[in-house]
Structure 1
């Protein structure tokens, strides 16, 4: 054969081989597709059987529960059986704090009685990474407000509740500030001294960063343990037709007449500001916070009825110095009106703010001083929020 004939024969053979390979590949692909289709049908059948089995089991459990409820309702239990059932009922539940509050309010005194009444009141909530991952906060920043469930950890009766529950008798009625000493059922008030020391507050969500969130309008004291955080839903959490008793209708019942800042306070605050780490950008903004807090008379009922000296130590321990309604000036032995001689203290951001209030509810803020505990304390977590706060 000639060279041309050999080349033609080789080309024909190559074409034949390629065609055979294509046919073989097509057959293998079809076989593989057929096998996969069979496997998919088998898995679908298995899933349908499992689903039906689970549904049948659920129907069986429902029928058994219904039968049990009918049997219990038809059978009168003896007193012993009732006691056994009561003994098996859970008396406590697995619950622990998921985070802690770092608030502008250093102590209970001055912390607002209700949320949102002091819009400038800020706090951060730092979640425990071991209990709550950072992803749990995803989406919360899209809400304007959230609910905070927490523990009244500074209640003075907590030790009795833990160590000797039999002695920690619940006070059915408590004194209400707006009623000027009048009593109301504890469950009809927001008193922190409750059957279980659980608090509920709404706050404005300002920012979220990792395991922490920044809130404003808070009524939470520094160090408060947080139990849960839930978004505020206006369509279900706000009741437009809600009614309140008449004694809550008077919004100005605890309002003060005026607030004035002395020159000495402004100078002392400027000196203190050099030593504190704060969520507030400047002394002027901090002064605005003081004004908002003191716009409502934060004194206890006993302090308003019988003015008495309140030092930093007695305020922290929630104990009152006992003096008469009138006192004498040691220098000239004359009578002094206690409403103008008494100095009260408000602790904010580690600063002790002292002020006086007269009988007409006019306040003069006199001095600012660093609390002893703040001198060596650096609130590093606050620093991470400074840039965010500046944009609020």
Structure 2
């Protein structure tokens, strides 16, 4: 089987660092699914507006070349315990494919590359290739009593604060961009091996901005916000 991407996601996440590890964890996140010319047909999405959510089958394009391993160290276990790759959602997989459940917020039929799907709650970095789209069916796919294995605990959220040096730039951002930054940074984007240095400054490309932040004592402090053109959908 030969797989060719049918579309590319243009996302508010300009780089893989700080992208939510699961869909829906950052409800305010947004993106645009732009079909490639061969699949850019209004007929191909006829009726899709009746569904609130979609499954996207996509490619881990930034890590696929690194290959795979039978075991991985998931962040939810602190990065120091190995489990089988097929018991995880690791990006390092034999075929480099991912599955994401996103919210369909609308269909743009007016842009030059229409139809474009407007997405919310996504966990995909800007430039992600999409191989297929399927509607989500809650009567068949929602299982309230499903077990969650090692990922059973709810994610602990940090308090996000904005330093005075970044307050003016933060206030100028659109409300949705501010929500994205709060939701993403509250989940502690740091690798498990880099959580012990309270003085380290990290950076994430969010909503067209380079956001610099520090984490100490359960508080994430945004230190600065600088425009970064070409790093994802602008705020």
TM-score normalized by the length of structure 2: 0.90
Deviation at 1:260, TM superposition (A): 0.8
Output aligned runs, 1:306-325, within 5 Å: 307=196
Instruction: Give me the whole-angstrom Cα distance separating, in 2, the residues matched to 1:107 and 1:205.
Output: 22
Deviation at 1:350, TM superposition (A): 2.0
Q: 1:206 aligns with which of 102, 105, 109?
A: 105
Q: 2:209 aligns with which of 318, 335, 351?
A: 351
Deviation at 1:285, TM superposition (A): 3.0
RMSD, matched Cα: 2.1
Deviation at 1:265, TM superposition (A): 1.0
Instruction: Give me the whole-angstrom Cα distance separating, in 1, the residues matched to 2:19 and 2:7.
Output: 20
1:286 aligns with 2:188: no
Q: 1:368 aligns with which of 225, 230, 234?
A: 225
Higher strand share: 2
- The structure, 1 or 2, with the larger RCO (C-alpha pairs under 8 Å, 6+ apart) is 2
Q: 1:193 aligns with which of 77, 92, 106?
A: 92
Higher helix share: 1
Is 1:269–1:369's contact at 8 Å kept on the other side of the alignment?
no
Which entry has the higher C-alpha Rg, 1 or 2? 1
TM-score normalized by the length of structure 1: 0.55
Corresponding residue of 2:160: 259
Is 1:100–1:223's contact at 8 Å kept on the other side of the alignment?
yes
Q: Which runs of 5+ in 2 are unaligned?
A: 110-114
Is 1:121–1:289's contact at 8 Å kept on the other side of the alignment?
yes
User: Deviation per CA, 1:325-357, whole angstroms, max 9, x where unpaired?
Assistant: xxxxxxxxxxxxx31x21111111221011110
Instruction: Check 1:283–1:266 CA distance in 2 against 1; reply closer, same or farther (3 A cut).
Output: farther
Q: 1:119 aligns with which of 27, 33, 53?
A: 27
Q: Helix, strand or coil for the counterpart of 1:346?
A: strand
Deviation at 1:269, TM superposition (A): 3.9
1:140 aligns with 2:41: no
1:182 aligns with 2:40: no
Is 2:103–2:119's contact at 8 Å kept on the other side of the alignment?
yes
Q: Helix, strand or coil for the counterpart of 2:160?
A: strand
Q: Which runs of 5+ in 1 are unaligned?
A: 1-92, 161-167, 274-281, 308-337, 387-392
User: Deviation per CA, 1:139-166, whole angstroms, max 9, x where unpaired?
Assistant: 11111101011110000x51x6xxxxxx
Is 2:55–2:101's contact at 8 Å kept on the other side of the alignment?
yes
Deviation at 1:107, TM superposition (A): 0.3
User: Deviation per CA, 1:1-49, whole angstroms, max 9, x where unpaired?
Assistant: xxxxxxxxxxxxxxxxxxxxxxxxxxxxxxxxxxxxxxxxxxxxxxxxx
Is 1:176–1:183's contact at 8 Å kept on the other side of the alignment?
yes
Q: How many residues align?
A: 229
Deviation at 1:378, TM superposition (A): 11
Deviating 4+ runs (over 4 angstroms): none
